[in-house]
Structure 1
Amino acid sequence: MTATAEQQIRFLARLGAAMCAANYPVTLVRQMLDRTAAHYGVRNDGLALPNHVQVVGPTAAEGTVVRGARVDSDLRFDQIFPLARLVSAAMAGRVSAQDGDTRLDEIQGSARRYPAWVTIIGYGIQSAGLSLVLEPTLLNVLAALLLGAMVGGFLVMSQRVPVLAQLVPAVSAFAVASICIVAALRLELDHVGLRALIPPLAVFLPGAAITLAVIELTSRDVIAGTSRLIAGFVQIIQLAFGILIATQLLGMREDQLSSEAVNHIGPWAPWLGVAVYGLGVMLFLAPPVSFWPWLVLISYTAYAAQYLGDLVLGSYASGFCGGMALTVVALAVSRMRSAPPAITMILPGFWLLVPGSMGLIGVTELFGADGDSALPATLISMISVAFGLQAGLVLWQVTRRRSTR
């Protein structure tokens, strides 16, 4: 085997691992490996899992060559843009293994666009936008802004001290719930709205993980899909655990936790919240400035589809409608010359689909009086978004095939 072939196998493994770190389904990772290997003229007998990619090269006089790459952490959102361009170039055979390795090094070594304090403020603004969407009251919006900034600080700290990252969801949930409960007791409020707790914790909701799990399970990638599904539910339980510990320590009764929606600002508030959310995403995730109009388009598309789905079909189907519209529009727009990759438009849309947030409410209520109905409600509301995204993919593929005939 030539040195060039060995380098090609190594690059394929690294590129596949980078795609997994960017939350690509392993189905697409394998497709990339097969198509790129075909352009290189090497055989690919590889393995793709959410945390590991292994590529086995062709057998020659020197024997079979195996190269693997491990996924240690997720890529930042801003790094997904150049990665998507590299993936497209590799699948089209427009990049050599040596150039691909160099570009991967540049992507993985790129610095953050903004300093840490901008990231913290950005997450606070994003949280305030979600508060306008979920629970539009002046007190909730102010609390979401401040608590979101606090959680943003936790996230920045965990990035600098990676060993703390596994504790951040539970610690953040405990801190947010504790502050909300203490404030409610001091202000003599009769309840604490669970929806008011969600915006600062939205970054931990595993909507993307559960959606990827559904796609992989239905594509017969059982190991990858099952591992993602379990990891997603464990993260939800971490959030619920933090909230429950706070309620027990501070003496908040279960009947004082409410999931009823309240709007004290006006029917226009959620629509304003979508724009505020988009501004927060631009500061928190730091995508290119040119991403702003596409983010606004896709965010309003997802929210409008969910809103109409709720009016026509009911709350559970609203997530399905939002996910389907989000996927179809993102895929259609991504074909425009100046548009960003579809995956960069789909990921921010998950945090606007309320059933992902309702999953947290449902798991919390499992420990209360309504536990007999909360579990099926949680499963249906969260997975409906995943089925919506998958339906959008199928609809797009069918439409493309008919248009090419």
Structure 2
Amino acid sequence: METTRADAHIQFLARLGASMAAANYPVTLIRQMLQRASAAYGITTESVVLPNNVQVIGPAGPNGTTIKSAAVDTDLRFDQTFPLARLVSAARRGAVEPAAGEAELRRITAAPHRLPSWVSVIGYGIQSAGLALVLEPTPLNLLGATVFGLLVGAIATASRGRPLLAQLVPVISAFAVTSLAILAAHRLGLDHVGLRALIPPLAMFLPGVAMTLAVVELTSRDMISGTSRLVAGFAQLAQLAFGIFIAVQILGESESQLTSIAVNKLGPWAPWVGVAVYTLGIMLFLGPPVRFVPWLLIVVYAAYAAQFFGDLAFGSYVSGVTGGFALTLCAMAMASRPGAPPAISLILPGFWLLVPGSMGLIGIAELFGADGDSAITVTFVSMFSVAFGLQAGLVGWQLARRVRRRGRGGFGLREHVA
């Protein structure tokens, strides 16, 4: 292959890898994609993959060694992950030329949101209402989650394209939601503010994806990436807790009045309806293709049912593992069917549903209250239970595929994630 042509392939692969990192692919999977795509293009490369930078190193030639790198400036939106997955699949087969691939990457990153901003705001309010039905289905909490969800959705939408403002959005949102919740509680004569009432409108900031990727990467011996994601995840939780307790201190509230006791005043049907409401909110807030709806419904109900029955049978800690395990197996099985969305697009919304149930933010918040002595253990175990469930699901699916395909070779588990 001519040197300039090889250079073009290497540059394209570096940028494609960076786009995958921006879409929250594990670095292990990005590295595997780069290896397979390089082989399909007939070149030998090595790669260095980090969450914020991808470097592809070509073979040594007459003019030296070609090294191309691409930085991750910002995350891709959820709706952008669908065309990206198709491009990744084509590159893995060597079915796209570098110029065409680069043009498609530019089109993906420049594509505007599929739905207007006001639809996204309404969608997040609906998503928040769905999570409220799952976590604490009471009329007051449902109303509050919807209103606060609209507020947080508006704040998040207003910060799009403004990186400096976006960095402050978690703290601003947590402060605004907590302040309004405390003022409303005083107005209504309530003697406490439920932490479960604060979770639904703040769910977009819970670092479930970061924690999950951290576990996957640490167990894959990608120590730098896994550790950095782990620290970033806890830092984001700390931002939320900081916003909550600044509001508590300014308004003179006692930390002991923040409680995490679960209440259900609507009936056992409410959480199951909440999952459907959550799905509708996801579709409006994130704007994936309409054909994604039935696939999304199947995977979120499978994940929630596994978490629900896991809680009944084994307790809240294990429920995260059972939920994550069922979510992964269901997503991988569906992604193997013709015309199905990529597995990673199915897995992410499921984790956004499971992670609030793991009560990671509640555990962090209780560090400042009466339950601080036990909250460290609660937080650590609950936040990682879902991530370990994912890893167990990946291993289970890989073993099942190896049994079915023994002797035939193949790319195995990873081909369906993209």
Fold-level match, TM-score > 0.5? yes
Residue type of the partner of 2:284?
A: L
User: 1:173 aligns to what?
Assistant: 174
- Count how many residue pairs are aligned between Structure 1 and Structure 2: 405
Establish whether residue 293 from structure 1 lines up as the match of residue 294 from structure 2.
Answer: yes
CA-to-partner distance for each residue in 1:175-207, whole Å, 9 max, x for gaps? 000000000001000110000000000000000
CA apart distance, 1:354: 4.7
CA-to-partner distance for each residue in 1:292-321, whole Å, 9 max, x for gaps? 111111110110000010011111000000
Give me the whole-angstrom Cα distance separating, in 2, the residues matched to 1:187 and 1:194.
Answer: 17
CA-to-partner distance for each residue in 1:265-297, whole Å, 9 max, x for gaps? 111000000000000000000000000111111
Mapping for residues 248-397 of structure 1, pairs under 5 Å: 248-354=249-355, 357-397=358-398
CA-to-partner distance for each residue in 1:302-354, whole Å, 9 max, x for gaps? 10000010011111000000000000000000011121110001000112115
Residue type of the partner of 1:242?
A: G
CA apart distance, 1:251: 1.4
Give me the whole-angstrom Cα distance separating, in 2, the residues matched to 1:46 and 1:336.
Answer: 31
Could you tell me which runs of 5 or more consecutive residues in structure 2 were left unpaired when the two chains were aligned.
Answer: 407-418
Instruction: Identify the range of structure 1 (269-278 vs 37-46) with the bigger mean alpha-carbon deviation.
Output: 37-46
Mapping for residues 176-187 of structure 1, pairs under 5 Å: 176-187=177-188
Give me the whole-angstrom Cα distance separating, in 2, the residues matched to 1:233 and 1:19.
Answer: 23
Give me the whole-angstrom Cα distance separating, in 1, the residues matched to 2:60 and 2:355.
Answer: 51
Contact 1:206 1:356 in 2 (8 A): no
Task: Give the TM-score normalised by structure 2.
Answer: 0.96
Contact 1:362 1:378 in 2 (8 A): yes
Residue type of the partner of 1:215?
A: V
Could you tell me which runs of 5 or more consecutive residues in structure 1 were left unpaired when the two chains were aligned.
Answer: none
Establish whether residue 48 from structure 1 lines up as the match of residue 49 from structure 2.
Answer: yes
Mapping for residues 29-108 of structure 1, pairs under 5 Å: 29-108=30-109
Contact 1:240 1:364 in 2 (8 A): yes
Q: Percent identity?
A: 64
Task: Give the TM-score normalised by structure 1.
Answer: 0.99
Residue type of the partner of 1:72?
A: D
Closer, same or farther: CA 38–64 of 1 in aligned 2, 3 Å = same
Residue type of the partner of 1:210?
A: M
Give me the whole-angstrom Cα distance separating, in 2, the residues matched to 1:63 and 1:269.
Answer: 64
User: 1:24 aligns to what?
Assistant: 25
CA-to-partner distance for each residue in 1:62-116, whole Å, 9 max, x for gaps? 1111111000110000000011111111112222222211211111111111111
Contact 2:331 2:347 in 1 (8 A): yes
Contact 2:159 2:166 in 1 (8 A): yes
SS of residue paired to 1:75:
coil
Instruction: Identify the range of structure 1 (61-70 vs 279-288) with the bigger mean alpha-carbon deviation.
Output: 61-70
Give me the whole-angstrom Cα distance separating, in 2, the residues matched to 1:99 and 1:296.
Answer: 34
Residue type of the partner of 2:335?
A: S
Q: Which runs of 4+ in 1 moved over 2 A?
A: 354-357
CA apart distance, 1:2: 2.3
CA apart distance, 1:163: 1.2
CA apart distance, 1:39: 1.2
User: 2:411 aligns to what?
Assistant: none
Residue type of the partner of 2:179?
A: S
Mapping for residues 235-250 of structure 1, pairs under 5 Å: 235-250=236-251
RMSD: 1.0
SS of residue paired to 1:217:
helix
CA apart distance, 1:355: 5.6
